Structure 1
Amino acid sequence: MTESIEQLSSVLTPYGGDMGDDIDWPKVEAAYGTAFPDDYKKFVERFGNGTIEGAIAVMVPIATDDPMTRRVSRLPERALSDPAYRRWTEPDGEKRYGVGRILVWGETDSADTLGWITTDTSPGEWPLAVHNRGDAAWTVHHCGMAEFLVRLFRGDFPECPISDSSLVGASGLRFLHDREEERLAGLGVYPWDD
């Protein structure tokens, strides 16, 4: 876990100075009714709520009932009730995993969804699920969030697990915290436009 975070830190460069989020984990975990994986907690502490090259957004958990707050969450009811959203690359995926067990921690600018399948095992063992919009199906990856991102950026998957392969093998990837992005936008600076 720590190794994956260190590897990720060697791949991602902070864009701007405002990084990391201080989360009251006991309060958030009580509100969500579950603990969170340790690698994710380390990511949030080091990087926080923001985007990688404007292509992958990573969200943090926030204890609120406000549906307009962008945060870690379960899939919305419209997705849960849509039979097309229950397609898996594994033949028995819906029966084995089920979309109702997915806790979304990220999304891509290509409308892919990144989440954990919250099984009965400890959070550090949760499989990761990716809904690739291009394939219109969920694929399961047996690794943590940090390891998934490292493998994605290094091109270690046989096929790119997300719709946009522009980050695969790229160097100098930047992470921008949402607070810093808002500050820059106030100055008329849009870093992902360059």
Structure 2
Amino acid sequence: MGSPVDSAAVQTLSPLLLSDYAVGEQVDWLRLSRSWETDFPSDYVAFMSAYGAGGISDAFELLRPDESATEDSDGMTGETANARDGFSRWTSYECGMVEFLRRVFSGELEACPLSDATLWGTGAQKFVHWKEERRLLSGVDPWTGEPDPLAGVGFD
């Protein structure tokens, strides 16, 4: 489903998105496209194939689609509903997700488009796959590699 152009876009991003934990996602895109009643952008598909879902520098999460667009969840289904509710306040960029991330990391947009400037114009970022985040959060901070003093502490 991804194209050579989209694979090249991910390769262009890779010097700015470092990872020891990029394991990709095994996704049945045809089945998910049917369930969601839409095709997923080819650069997103290429990104998921190379990196998978996960966090970027403890500031941004990339989600993989829920199995059904009708699931009641906090995952992509919930975030899609949030995005649709606030769409009139969003700015549209003439690029795909992968190029957008590259421009954010390199500071090539007119202004920081995110509410948190952690990723803005600071160059290389660290990606941690969601499975590794989960494993490391049991006692090791996935962003620093240090013991996590808050591991196992519940918050209300």
Question: How far is the alpha carbon of 1:76 from its aligned partner?
Answer: 4.5
1:146 partner amino acid:
V
- State how far apart, in whole Å, the 1-side matches of 2:124 and 2:99 are: 18
TM-score (norm. length: structure 1) = 0.64
Q: Which has the higher strand share?
A: 1
Give 1:10's aligned residue.
15
Could you say if the C-alpha distance between residues 46 and 159 of structure 1 is closer, same or farther in structure 2, counting changes exceeding 3 Å?
same
Runs (5+) with no aligned partner, structure 2:
1-5, 147-156
Contact 2:106-2:123 at 8 Å conserved across structures: no
Q: Which has the higher helix share?
A: 2
TM-score (norm. length: structure 2) = 0.78
Give 1:57's aligned residue.
61
1:37 partner amino acid:
P
Contact 1:4-1:150 at 8 Å conserved across structures: no
Deviations 1:86-135 (A, max 9, x none): 64xxxxxxxxxxxxxxxxxxxxxxxxxxxxxxxxxxxxxxxxxxxxxxxx
1:192 partner amino acid:
W
Could you say if the C-alpha distance between residues 58 and 162 of structure 1 is closer, same or farther in structure 2, counting changes exceeding 3 Å?
same
Give 2:134's aligned residue.
182
Give 2:154's aligned residue.
none
Match of 1:71 among 76, 79, 94: 76
Give 1:164's aligned residue.
116
Give 1:48's aligned residue.
52
- State how far apart, in whole Å, the 2-side matches of 1:39 and 1:75 are: 22
Matches within 5 A, 1:72-151: 74-76=80-82, 80=85, 85=86, 87=88, 137-151=89-103
Percent identical across equivalent pairs?
32
Runs of 4+ in 1 over 6 A off after TM superposition: none
- State how far apart, in whole Å, the 1-side matches of 2:124 and 2:102 are: 13
- State how far apart, in whole Å, the 1-side matches of 2:46 and 2:127 are: 15
Question: How far is the alpha carbon of 1:8 from its aligned partner?
Answer: 1.0
- State how far apart, in whole Å, the 2-side matches of 1:54 and 1:74 are: 21
Matches within 5 A, 1:19-38: 19-38=23-42
1:190 partner amino acid:
D
Deviations 1:133-176 (A, max 9, x none): xxxx3111111000000011000001111112222232441101
